[in-house]
Amino acid sequence: MISVKRLIALITDFGYKDPYIGVMKGVIKSINPDAEIVDLTHGITRHSILEAAVNLLVSAKYFPQGTIFVVVVDPGVGSERRALLVETNNYVLIGPDNGCLSLLMEKDGVKRAFDISSSRYRLANVSGTFHGRDVFAPIASWVSRGVPLEDIGVRIDVGSIARVRVEKPKYDLGEKTIMGRVLYIDLYGNVMTNVEANYINLVKAEYGSRLNVTVDSGEHQCIYEKSFSRVLRGELACYINSWGFLEVAVNMGDASQFLGVKPGDKISFKVI
CATH of the domain at 98: 3.40.50.10790
The pTM for the full model equals 0.93
149 and 180 together in one domain: no
What is the per-residue pLDDT for 175?
94
Residues belonging to the chain:
272
Spell out the long-range contacts of 57-64 with Cβ–Cβ below 8 A and sequence spacing 24 or more. Answer: 57/103, 57/104, 57/107, 58/243, 59/9, 60/90, 60/91, 60/104, 60/108, 63/7, 63/9, 63/38, 63/91, 64/7
Within a domain: residue 232?
yes
What is the per-residue pLDDT for 6?
87
Domain boundary among 137, 160, 183: 160
Count of domains for the chain: 2
Within a domain: residue 2?
no
37 and 70 together in one domain: yes
What is the per-residue pLDDT for 266?
97
Nearest to 185 by CA among 14, 45, 13, 9: 45
What is the per-residue pLDDT for 4?
54
Helix axes 137-144, 20-31, angle to 10 degrees: 30
Whether 24 contacts 137, CB under 8 Å: yes
Domain boundary among 110, 133, 160: 160
131 and 174 together in one domain: no
Domain range for residue 13?
Answer: 7-160
What is the per-residue pLDDT for 3?
47
177 and 117 together in one domain: no
**Going residue by residue through the chain (272 aa), what tens digit of pLDDT does each one get?**
544 568 999 999 999 999 999 999 999 999 999 999 999 999 999 999 999 999 999 999 999 999 999 999 999 999 999 999 999 999 999 999 999 999 999 999 999 999 999 999 999 999 999 999 999 999 999 999 999 999 999 999 999 999 998 889 999 999 999 999 999 999 999 999 999 999 998 999 999 999 999 999 999 999 999 999 999 999 999 999 999 999 999 999 999 999 999 999 999 999 99
40 and 122 together in one domain: yes
